[in-house]
Structures are given as C-alpha cells and as structure tokens.
Amino acid sequence: MPLRHVRTLAAVVSAACLALTATATAHGAGRGAAPEPKALGSNWYAAAPYLMPLDNDPPDAGAVMNATGLKAFQLAFILAPNSGGCTATWDGTSPVSSDTAVAGVISAIRAKGGDVSASIGGYGGTKLGQSCGTPEATAAAYQQAIDKYGLKALDFDLEEPEYENTAAIHNEIGAAKILQQKNPGIYLSITTAGTADGTGWFGKQMLNEAKSQSFTPDNFSIMPFDGGFNGAASQTAALTNFNGILRSTFGWDEATAYAHEGISQMNGRSDTGEYFTQADFQKVLDFATAHHLARFTNWSVNRDRQCSPPDNNGKTSGTCSSVPQGAYDFTAYSVKFAGAASTTARPSIPGGTSGELHAAR
C-alpha cells in the first residue's frame, strides 16, 4: 500500500516536534528509552489500529485516547536501513538504537495507561528479513526494538515485495519463532495480503512456512482491500474463505481457526478506489465478534479524520479518509472489538498458543 510511506511537510515538522517532546518526557530513561508498560490485556493488542508516529501528519495519540477510550496503537514500520545492514530502523531512516522521537510517543501513551505494538515490514522499503542473512540475525535486529521500548507485542506485516522472497519469509517466520521463545508471553500477529479466496499463492506459501517451522502466532490476519473488494460483504466472504485455508493448512477445526484469524481493514477510500464506510466497519465487527476472531485492526489512525472537501476530490490520502466522518469514527470500532474480545476464550492448540484474550501480558 503506497500510502503507508507518503511523507508530507507536516509529517516532517511533526517528527521534529516529537523529538523535542521526547527529550522532555524521557524522564532520565537514557538514550530515549520508553518506560516499561503497565499490564494490558491482549485484547487491546488485538484491536490496536495502525499509527505512523513519524509520517503522514500523525495525530496526538493522547487526544485519540481521550476521544475514544483506545488503549493501544500499532506503530509502523520497523525496517532495515535504506543504506543497507541488519539493524532496526523506523521507516528505514531513523535508527531504533538512537531514537528519542518514537520513544517520546510511547512514553506519552503509557503515561495515560496505554501501550503499543510495533509493526514490522509493510509495503515498500527494505525489510530485515531481506537484509539479514538468517532467522537468528533477523530476530536479533527485532530484539533491539523489544529491549529498547519494552515491547509486549509485535506485528509481522508480510506483503509485497518481501513475501515473494522465499528466503526472506523463512527468515521472518524463523525470527518470529525465536522471539516467541525468547520473550515469553509476547503477543505476535502475522499480517498478509487478502484476496477474494482468503489469501493468494504467496500468502499460502507463508502459512506453509509457518507450519514447516511449527510456529503458531496469536493470529494470522489478512488485509481484504486493494484487491477488487466492495464493502463489508466481500470482506467477510474473504474471512470465511481464509478460515478454510487455515483449517486445511494446520488441521484446525473451524472455531480454532477463527480464534487465530484476524482482519486488517482500510478505512474510507483505499489505494485502488474501493470504499469502506463506518457501516461496513460495523458489519465486519459484527462478523468478527460473532465468529470470535482474534484480531480487528485498520490502516490507519492517521487517516481517521475527514478530508477537505470530505471526498478529497475522489483521491486517496494518507492523512484523511476521503469519506464523510467525525474524528476517529473508525478507531471507535477497535475499542468496541477490544471490549467484546476481553473475555473470549481461545481453543487450545497442543504445542501452540492457548488461553483467554483478556489475560494480561
């Protein structure tokens, strides 16, 4: 999704302001490290919508929390350095090791009782699975971010062009398994492209890689947009089909597959001109809660505000939705999902994950 890496002048100015804020709010943590989070139920990590903290004119996270009751954000994206190498950066340009700007955002969120997950990959840029030679090296790069920010959750956003690279996907899945073992209780999601059939050839190849490595994350999520979708009915049909893929790949029954399945939506107008309104989000939410899906998220909080004019002259934006809306209308559905998921029991998988979504991490 190209809009995931749109930079605007406002974003650059905002990033500079965030750096100053972070310096003032680090509270002596050292090198911009964010404080440890309070215990959050994993239902909040399952509901966390994406937020680009340095790009696409990021809104104030605290204001979003105040307006909606949201407690968790999915910060995007951790990538390899644009100049090459196997160390974690934000957007390929800002080293995690010396970061203060994102640490300041995390500190502000945690000060209000919330937390964050970090998202790895996305569309565009060089992924660590591509630049690091082994699963072990890839995991070590991600561990930098886990240690720096005290992360309790990570999202592996595996899509074009990385998921067409067999070696890179082997490294990413292998790294996720290593991190799961090294960081007990960490919440891990795997996000990939959605199609009308559920997911495409490369998505199925990724699932088979996970099976071959005996790796089970908290969820496998699809993105049913930018692929000829038309409203909620097409998205729930894709989720139903993806459930069948999970069942056939891992040998799960229907309930177990849904309990490890999720959706990542795009609010408003998508890159390819599809439209998803508040009514569509409500219908998908109804499906998700009825089938006890493991995750319900969207791209993105940066876009969860009305354009001027509201339809943005028929264009897609990285900073507004291109549909009529109130501020943070779409984020409100994540809050509803977190509430519905807070007591949802998950079927046990021998040797895999189990438990209840409300269990504190």
> Which residue bears the tokens 């955002």?
105
pLDDT recorded at residue 353: 53
User: What angle in degrees, to the nearest 10, is found between the helix axes of 135-149 and 101-111?
Assistant: 60
**The domain spanning residue 28 has which CATH number?**
3.20.20.80
Are the C-beta atoms of 100 and 23 separated by less than 8 Å?
A: yes
In a domain, 223, yes or no: yes
Residue 347 lies in a domain: yes
Q: Assess whether 164 carries a catalytic annotation.
A: no
Across 295-304, average pLDDT:
98
Q: What is the pLDDT of residue 303?
A: 98
pLDDT above 70 for 22: no
The tens digit of pLDDT for each residue in 62-98 reads 999 999 999 999 999 999 999 999 999 999 999 999 9
Calpha distance 48→103 (Å, rounded)? 18
What is the average per-residue pLDDT within 145-170? Answer: 97
- pLDDT computed for residue 82 by the predictor: 97
Least confident of 4-13, 51-60, 339-348: 4-13
pLDDT at 21 over 50: no
Q: Give me the mean pLDDT over the 231-235 stretch.
A: 98
Phi-psi region of 198 (alpha: psi -120 to 50; beta: other; left: phi over 0): left
* pLDDT at residue number 342: 82
Within-domain flag for 165: yes
Q: With respect to residue 214, please indicate whether it lies within any of the assigned structural domains.
A: yes
Residue 361 in domain: no
| Catalytic annotation, pick one of 36, 136, 159, 172 | 159
Q: What domain count does the chain have?
A: 1
Asked if residue 10 belongs to a domain, the reply is yes
Is 281 among the domain residues? yes
* pLDDT tens digits, one per residue of 262-287: 999 999 999 999 999 999 999 999 99
pLDDT value at residue 346: 65
pLDDT digits (tens, 9 = 90+) for 179-196: 999 999 999 999 999 999
What's the whole-model pTM score? 0.90
Domain containing 258: what range? Answer: 2-356
33 occurs within a structural domain: yes
Could you tell me which of 184, 104, 205, 95 has the C-alpha nearest to residue 145?
Answer: 95
Share of the chain above pLDDT 90, in %: 83
Is-contact 342 41, C-beta < 8 A?
A: yes
Q: Which amino acid would we find at residue 345? A: A
